[in-house]
Amino acid sequence: MILFKKPLTVIACLCALLIFNLSDAQSRRKKNKKEDKTEKTATPPSKKKGKIKDYDKVITKDAVTDNGLFKVHLVGEKYFFEIPNEYLDTNMLLVSRFAKLPSNLGGGYVNAGSKTNTRLVRWERFKNKILIKEKSYSAVAEDSLPINISVQNNNYEPTLFAFDIQAFSKDSSAVVVDVTEFYGTDVKALSGLSSRLRTQYKVRNLDKSRSFINSMKSFPENIEVVQDFTYNATNPPVNTGDQTISVQMNQSMILLPKDKMQPRYFDERVGWFTLSNYDYSSEKLKADRKTYIRRWRLVPKDIEAYKRGELVEPVKPIVYYLDPATPEKFRSYMKEGVELWQKAFEAAGFKNAIIAKDPPTKEEDPDFSPEDIRYSVIRYVASTTRNATGPSVSDPRTGEIIESDIIWYHNHLRSYRNRYLLETGAANPSARTLDTPAEDIGEMMKMVIAHEVGHTLGLPHNMAASYAYDVENYRDGAFTQKNGIAATIMDYARYNYIAQPGDQNIRFIRQLGPYDDYAINFGYRYYPEANSADDEVEMLDKMVTAKAGDPKYMFGSQGSRFDPRSQTEDIGNNSMKASTYGLKNLKIVAENLPNWTSNQTNHYDDLAELYGEMLGVWNRYIGHVTTHIGGVYENTKNPSQDGDVYSMVSKSQQKAAMQWLHKNAFATPTWLVDKDILNKIDYAGYTERLRGLQTRHLNRILSFETIGRLIDYNALDANNYSAIEMMRDLRKGIWSEANLGQNVSVYRRNLQRAHIEQLENLMTENMNRARSRKYYNVNQSDVRALVRGELNVLKNQLKSASNSAVNIETKYHYKDALARIENILDPK
C-alpha cells in the first residue's frame, strides 16, 4: 500500500491541476462567448439522473463515427447526431427525395430524384430537449425592431420532432441526440408518401420489420441519410399480390450560408422564378410585399477586371454532372446543351460560368451520389414519360439557388421524333422517317437540355418570344440559321412548321436567342458598388427600359390565356398566317403518313400513334387563332412608360379570326377523316374524334371568360368587338346551311348540336360551381339575355329551314334542334 501512496498523490495533484486548468479554460471561453454574441452558450444544465448520461456511456468505444457538419455516430443499431452548439438556431435546408421507387408510383412525373419536400429547419434547444423546428420567411422584420416580436408571435412554426438530450460532448461544445426514430420510422415530414398517395394506394402502415436506415454520411456542409421504407398497402401501384410498397428515400440536410447572398428584386417585365415575403420593417402604413428572383450566386474572381468590362470567371461556377445511368451516345449532347449557356453568361460579364461534367468514377469520388445535395445532376430516368423537367432548390431567405436536378425521361425523344415528322415533314426530307438521323436527334436533345437548364438558372417559360419574328422570316434560310425560331430557348417553340416545300437551308429546330442573353444579364450582372437590393433598382430599371418596345425582349407569361402573342407551341407574329402555312403542311403529311410509317414497319402501331398526335397538331394550330376572339394584349410596363398595359385585339382582327375559323376549323376538315388511315387503326369513333376537336374551340369562344371580356371592352369603347356581334358571326357560320337551303353532313350536325348545348350551358350553368368567373357576376350581366336572344333568332331560322330541308337527316336534325331550343327557353 505504501508503494502506491506517493504516485497516487502525484496523480491526484495532476488531476486537480488539470481540472483547475480545464475549469479556468472554460471560464475564459464563457467570457469570450459573452463578448461575441454570435457564439452559442456551451454550458449544459445540471444533469437529471437517468436522463442525460456521460458521453462515454452513450458514444461507446464501439461507435463508428463519421465527421462532418455534425458528427454522426453508429452505436449498434442506433444513430446519434453530435450537434455543435454553434449550429443550434442555425438555418438549414432539409430536402427529401426519392432515391428508388416502384414503377408508376404517383404517376409519370414521380421518379428517382424527385423531391417530395423542401423545408427550412433549425435545431433548437429547449430545456433538456433538442427540437427540430420548421421555419418560414413568408413574414419578416428586422430583429432590432419591436414589431419583430409580433411577427414571431403570429408566425409560430411547427416542431417536426423533439429529441431528448442523451449526452454532452466531453468539452460541452455539442449535444448528442438519438435520431434513430426520426429517420427510421414513419415521420410524415420525411416520408415520400403524401396524404394523397396514402389514400390512393390505401396505405395501412409502415412495416417496421422491413424498414431501416440504410446509411448516414456527414460532409462539411451537409448530411445525407438513405432510408429504406416498406409499407403495407391494399392497392399498391405495382400489384404483385404482396400488398407492399417499398421506397428508398434520401434526406439531405445542408447548412445555409451565414453570409447571405444579396437578393435581387423581381421586375415583372423580365421573366424569373421568384419568392416573396411581407416585410414588416417598412415605414409605410402597410407591410411591404417584396419579391426576389431565384438565381445562383456568381461573384467575379477579379472584381477590378470585371469593373473594366473584361470577362471574368466566377469564384464558384455552376457545375452539372451527368447521371451515371446516362447512355454514352447521349452524353456529349447533354454537356453541350448545358454549356450553350456560357455565351449568355458572357452578356453578364462572366466566362466559363456554367460547366458540364461526366460523373466521377469511384476512384475520383467514392462518395458521389446523384441524391447528394452537393451535386447538381442531370438525372436520366428509365420511364415511359415523355418529358423533361428542371426543378431546383433555393434559399428561402434570398432566392439563392443551392442545387438543381434536371430530369430527363428516356422516352422523351419519341415525342420529339413524332413532332419533327408531323410539323416539318412536308418541307424537311430528313424528318420523313421513324429513324430520325442521329445528328438531328442530338440537336433536339441539346436544345431540350438547354431549355431545362434555363429553368434551373431561374428562367420560366417566355411564351411571347416567338412573336418577335415575322411569319415570312421562317421561310428564309439565312434568317432561320442565324435566329432560330424564337427569341429565346424558353418559349414552347420547338419546330419551324411554317417553312414550305422548296424553301432552302431552313433551320427547323429551336436555339438560344437574344432574350436569353438579356435575361441572364438582368439576373446575374454583378454590381460591386451595390450594397443592397435597393441600390440595384435604378440600374436594373434602365436596363429593362432600354429594351422596351422591342419584341425580341418582350416577356409573355405562360399563364396568359387571353393574349394571342403569348401562346404555347406557336411561332410568328401572325397566328392566322402561321396556322394557314401549318395546316397546308399538315395536309401533305396526312397524305404521306402511311408511306412514312406502316409501309416501312409492316405494322400499324406507329401509324395509329402518329395519327392521334397529328390531330393534336391540328388542334394547336386552330387554338392559336381561337385566342384572338376576346383576346387582350398584355404589355407589362412601369407607370413611367407611355401606353396602356391592357388593350383589346382590334375588332377587324377578331372578325378575321372568326372567318378563318369558319373556313379552317368549323367547315369539316375532311382530309383529317382519311379512310385509308382510319380503317387500318380503329373500328369506330371516326365522327366522334372530329366532333371533340371542333367542339373544344367552339366552347372556348362561347365561354363566360371570352364573353365577359367582350362585354367589358365594348363598355369602354363602343368601337370594340361586342359580345352580340361575336355571337351573331358565330351563329351565321355554324348554321350557314339553314340560310342556303343545303343538306347538313353528320359532322356539321354534331357541331350544330354542340352549339345549342353550349348556349344551354351559358343559360343554365350553376354559377356556384362555375370556374373562373371572379371578375364579373354572370347572373346579373348581359350573358343570359344575349343567349336567350340568340336562341330565339335561331329558333325562327330553323322553323323556316326545317320546312325546306332537302334530305330526311337534315329535316330530323332541324326538328330535334328546335325541340332542344324550346326546352331551354321553356323547360318543362
181, 164 contact by CB (below 8 A): no
pLDDT grade for 396, boundaries at 50, 70 and 90:
very high
> CA-to-CA distance for 170 and 245, rounded, in angstroms?
43
For the cut 60, the answer to whether the pLDDT of residue 792 exceeds it is yes
Q: How many helices (H) and strands (E) does the chain have?
A: 25, 23
What confidence score (pLDDT) does residue 632 get? 96
For residues 148 and 128, the model is more confident at 128
What confidence score (pLDDT) does residue 38 get? 40
Strands 401-409 and 376-381: parallel
Where residue 344 falls (left for φ over 0; alpha for ψ -120 to 50; beta otherwise) is: alpha
DSSP 780-796: TSSHHHHHHHHHHHHHH
What confidence score (pLDDT) does residue 774 get? 57
* Cα–Cα distance list, 50 to 166, 493, 676, 816 (Å): 10, 68, 84, 86
For residues 351 and 283, the model is more confident at 351
> CA-to-CA distance for 470 and 493, rounded, in angstroms?
14
Distance of CA 460 to the CA centre of its chain: 8
Helix runs in 425-574, H state only: 438-457, 477-483, 514-524, 533-545
The cell for 151 is: 411577427
pLDDT (tens digit per residue) in 433-475: 999 999 999 999 999 999 999 999 999 999 999 999 999 999 9
The cell for 542 is: 434602365
Query: Residue 121 pairs with which residues in a beta bridge?
Result: 92, 134
Burial of 25 (0-12, 13-18, 19+ CB in 10 A): exposed
> CA-to-CA distance for 488 and 515, rounded, in angstroms?
5
Burial of 589 (0-12, 13-18, 19+ CB in 10 A): buried
> CA-to-CA distance for 826 and 179, rounded, in angstroms?
70
DSSP3 helix / strand / coil % (the chain, rounded to 5): 40, 20, 40
What confidence score (pLDDT) does residue 240 get? 77
The cell for 393 is: 432548390
HSE toward the beta carbon, residue 186, CA cutoff 13 A: 19
Helices 438-457 and 514-524, packing angle to 10 deg:
30
> CA-to-CA distance for 133 and 119, rounded, in angstroms?
10
Cell 502506491: give the residue. Answer: 4
Q: What is the mean pLDDT of the chain?
A: 90
Q: What is the pTM of this model?
A: 0.88
> CA-to-CA distance for 135 and 140, rounded, in angstroms?
11
The helix (run of H) or strand (run of E) holding residue 160 is strand 159-168
> CA-to-CA distance for 367 and 348, rounded, in angstroms?
34
DSSP 204-233: EEE-GGG-EEEEEEE-SSEEEEEEEEEEEE
For residues 353 and 1, the model is more confident at 353
What confidence score (pLDDT) does residue 2 get? 33
**pLDDT, average across residues 784-811:** 92
Max CA distance (Å), the chain: 135
Q: Which of 138, 169, 153, 154 is nearest to 67 (CA)?
A: 169
Q: Which of 518, 494, 360, 525 is nearest to 431 (CA)?
A: 494
Neighbouring residues of 698: CB distance < 8 A, sequence distance ≥ 6 = 666, 730, 734, 751, 754, 755, 758
DSSP code, position 622: H
Helices 746-764 and 723-734, packing angle to 10 deg:
150
pLDDT (tens digit per residue) in 556-581: 987 778 999 999 999 999 999 999 99
Q: Which of 740, 715, 734 is nearest to 790 (CA)?
A: 734
339, 365 contact by CB (below 8 A): no
The cell for 359 is: 460523373
How many Cβ atoms are within 10 Å of 664's Cβ, its own excluded? Answer: 17
pLDDT (tens digit per residue) in 677-687: 999 999 899 99
> CA-to-CA distance for 524 and 503, rounded, in angstroms?
39
Backbone angles phi, psi at 443, to 5 degrees: -65, -40
What confidence score (pLDDT) does residue 293 get? 97
What SS3 class is residue 339? helix
Which long-range contacts (C-beta less than 8 Å, at least 24 apart) are formed by 37-46? 39/86, 40/85, 40/86, 40/88, 40/89, 41/85, 42/85, 42/171, 42/172, 42/173, 43/172, 44/165, 44/168, 44/172, 44/175, 45/127, 45/128
pLDDT grade for 767, boundaries at 50, 70 and 90:
low
Q: What is the dihedral of CA 366, 371, 372, 377, to 10 degrees?
A: 90
Where residue 297 falls (left for φ over 0; alpha for ψ -120 to 50; beta otherwise) is: beta
Cell 495532476: give the residue. Answer: 14
**pLDDT, average across residues 477-499:** 97
pLDDT grade for 147, boundaries at 50, 70 and 90:
confident
Helices 575-596 and 412-424, packing angle to 10 deg:
110
Q: Which of 382, 407, 600, 386 is nearest to 494 (CA)?
A: 386
